[in-house]
Amino acid sequence: MKKVVVGMSGGVDSSVAAVLLKEQGYEVIGLFMRNWDSSINNDFLGNPNLNNNICPQEQDYNDAKAVCDKLGIPLYRVDFIKEYWDDVFTYFLDELKKGRTPNPDIMCNKYIKFDLFVKEAKKLGADFIATGHYAKILNGRLMRSHELNKDQTYFLSQVNQKQLENVLFPLGDIKDKSEVRAIAQKYGLITARKKDSTGICFIGERNFKSFLKNYLPNMKGKIVDIETNKVLGEHNGLMYYTIGQRRGLDIGGSKDKLFVVGKNLKDNILYVCEGENNDYLYSDSAILEDINFNCSERPLECTAKFRYRANDVKIKLEYLENGNILVRYNNVKAVTPGQACVFYDNEFCLGGGIVKEVRKNDKKLWYLL
C-alpha cells in the first residue's frame, strides 16, 4: 500500500483531500505545519485574534486532529516559523519596501509547502505528498482544476518540475466547492461548515495597514494627479497601495473616480488619474524575472494571467540573454511590478515569472517603479 502524507491545515479542503485518498486505498498520514507565531513575530497591531481564548493556529491544529481522529489516521506536527519568516515574510516586506505588489502565497508554496514540507514527509516514509489545492497533475504536468473558479495553479507557478514529482491533488476533479462540503458533511467532519481561510498565507485576516505598522515605518507623502501635477491629498505610505486601486484614497472633489496609476519611491509620491479606463493604467509589454518553468516547453506564444482572478490574455515571449523574459500583449490593464505573470497552454500551467518592469511602446513606464 502506497503511503501519502497530506498537508492538514485544519480546513475543509485538506480534510476532504484526506478522505478521497483514503477512499482510493492509500495509507494516509496527516502533517500539520505551524508557520506563524504572533508573539514571536510581534504580530499585535491589526491582529483581531489577540483576545481569543485560543490562537487560530492552535484551533486549526485541533480541528485537523479531530478530522484525523475521525478518519482513523495519524497526525504529526512540524514548526516552520523561522523558515517562513526568512523565506516568505521577509520577501513580502522587502517587496513592499520597494513599492511593489508581492504575492506571499506563491513563495509559500515554493519554499514551504513543496520544499520543507516534502522533506518532512519523506522522513515519515511518504511515497507521495498531497495538499488541498485545486489543481491537477497529468503525466507529471500541472493542470488547471476542474473547478475553474477555485483553480489555484496561479499560486503554484514558482513550483518547479522536480517539486511536482510524486504530488497528488485529490480535489482536482471536484466540480464545485459545495461538493467538498457535502463530502465533509457525509463523514461528519468538524470542518464541514468551517469558513475558508483568507488573508496572508498562514497568517490569516489582518487589518492590513495596522498589521504592516508592526514591521515597516509609516511614511506619508503626496498624492499627485499625474496629468495636472496637482497635489490632491496625502497617502499613508506607498506600500499600502497597488496599481489600479480605487478604494482607500480618501480624496473628494473629483468629477470621476480616481485610480492609483503609479509610484515614485524616491520622492514618495503616489500618482493617481481620473477614470477607470485612463491611458496610464494600460501597458503592452513587461520584463519578467525569477523565471520558473515546470515543464520542458519553452513557448514563443501562449496565454498568461497577471492576477489570480484575471482572464487569460495572449502573450508572445522573447527570451533575453540574462535569463529574463520580455512578454508582449495587447493593452492589458494594471500590470504591476512584483506581480506574478503565469503562463498557460490551454489547461496546462507552464510556470511563470515575476514582473520586473512594465512598458508601453518599448519604453519603461516612468511612473512605475
Query: Which residues are the active-site residues?
Result: 108, 201
Cell numbers for 310? 484575471
What mean pLDDT, rounded, does the chain reach?
95
Q: What is the pTM of this model?
A: 0.95
CA distance readout (Å), 304 to 242, 250, 258, 314, 335: 20, 33, 27, 6, 12
Q: Which amino acid is at 19?
A: V
Q: What are the chain's domains? A: 3-208 (3.40.50.620), 217-274 (2.30.30.280), 281-364 (2.40.30.10)
Q: What is the pLDDT of residues 55-64, one digit of tens each?
A: 888 999 999 9
CA distance linking residue 250 with residue 245, whole number of Å: 12
Q: Classify residue 254 by burial, with Cβ atoms within 10 Å: 0-12, 13-18, 19+.
A: middle
> How confident is the prediction along the chain (369 residues), in pLDDT tens digits per residue?
999 999 999 999 999 999 999 999 999 999 999 999 999 999 999 999 888 888 888 999 999 999 999 999 999 999 999 999 999 999 999 999 999 999 999 999 999 999 999 999 999 999 999 999 999 999 999 999 998 889 999 999 999 999 999 999 999 999 889 999 999 999 999 999 999 888 888 898 899 899 999 999 989 999 999 999 999 999 999 999 999 999 878 776 666 789 999 999 999 999 999 999 999 999 999 999 999 999 999 999 999 999 999 999 999 999 999 999 999 999 999 999 999 999 999 999 999 999 999 999 999 999 998
CA distance linking residue 44 with residue 50, whole number of Å: 7
Q: What is the pLDDT of residues 108-164, one digit of tens each?
A: 999 999 999 999 999 999 999 999 999 999 999 999 999 888 999 999 999 999 999
